[in-house]
Amino acid sequence: MQSAFTVLTVCSGNIARSPLMALLLADRLGDRVDVISAGTIATPGEPMTDEALAVAARLGVDGRAHRSQVLTADLIANADLVLTATREHRADVARLQPIASRRTFTLREFARLATTVDSTTLDELPDGSERGPELVRAVAARRGVVPPLVNPADDDLDDPFRREESVYDRVGAEIDAAVTTLVSVVAAADGARAE
């Protein structure tokens, strides 16, 4: 993917889950993507919580420069992929920008579906600016094909705000695992194209 490909991560306050998602994606995908984050009920200009900063540091990223912003229709319109913390946030995105529903997933949903995209499809992804959007379309095509989760809430990330450190740690581990999966699919697509 080229740097023109933009990923938007979304949660509620934009002070824990979505900035952590954005930090890890930016760190692990580098110049392949531009990553921004926003919150559905964010107060603009707020830093990450101390607990989220600590989780970020343990995962090797620095969130001290982050400042929250409110989710807008323009942010959504300019994103090639929208990754949300929960299904409720996914619905909020669709309400603001209905056409974006095809490229909006919870983070865990996208990672889960991405692992089911077959290698032939990855081999056929184009080079250049369409590579990222085509990967998103390939993942979106898995909706309705992959059997649904027994518990749909398993695609959600709990909100750790004002909760104990163990909740932050668990949510951080879930974000880390999903981002790792997503990055491995991107790497597989890049490897397939390089061969």
pLDDT at 98: 96
Share of the chain above pLDDT 70, in %: 95
Q: Is residue 125 part of a domain?
A: yes
* Count of CA atoms in the C-beta half-sphere (13 A) of 57: 9
Q: Residue 1 class from Cβ within 10 Å (0-12 exposed, 13-18 middle, 19+ buried)?
A: buried
Measure CA 187 to chain center.
16
pLDDT at 1: 38
Nearest CA-CA partner of 8 in 59, 60, 99, 83: 83
pLDDT at 123: 80
Domain count, the chain: 1
Q: Is residue 171 part of a domain?
A: yes
Strand partners, 8: 36, 82
Q: Is residue 69 part of a domain?
A: yes
Cβ proximity of 81 and 8 under 8 Å: yes
Q: Is residue 1 part of a domain?
A: no
Residue 195 in this model has a pLDDT that exceeds 70: no
Q: If you average pLDDT over every residue of the chain, what do you get? A: 92
Place of tokens 């409720």: 88
- pLDDT tens-digit readout, 90-112: 999 999 999 999 999 999 999 99
Q: Is residue 143 part of a domain?
A: yes
Q: Is residue 114 part of a domain?
A: yes
- pLDDT tens-digit readout, 146-175: 998 999 999 999 999 989 999 999 999 999
> What's the token pair of residue 152?
């749909």
* CATH code at position 60: 3.40.50.2300
SS3 at position 8: strand
| Distance, first Cα to last Cα, the chain | 16
Strand order from edge to edge, sheet including 34-39: 34-39, 6-11, 81-84, 104-106
Confidence category of residue 127, pLDDT binned at 50, 70, 90: confident
> What's the token pair of residue 141?
């095509």
Q: Is residue 182 part of a domain?
A: yes
User: What is the extent of the structural domain holding 57?
Assistant: 6-194
The residue-averaged pLDDT of 14-28 equals 97
- 23 vs 1: which has the higher pLDDT: 23
> What's the token pair of residue 85?
């913390």
Q: Which helix (H) or strand (E) holds 36?
A: strand 34-39
Question: How many C-beta atoms surround the C-beta of residue 129 within 10 A?
Answer: 14
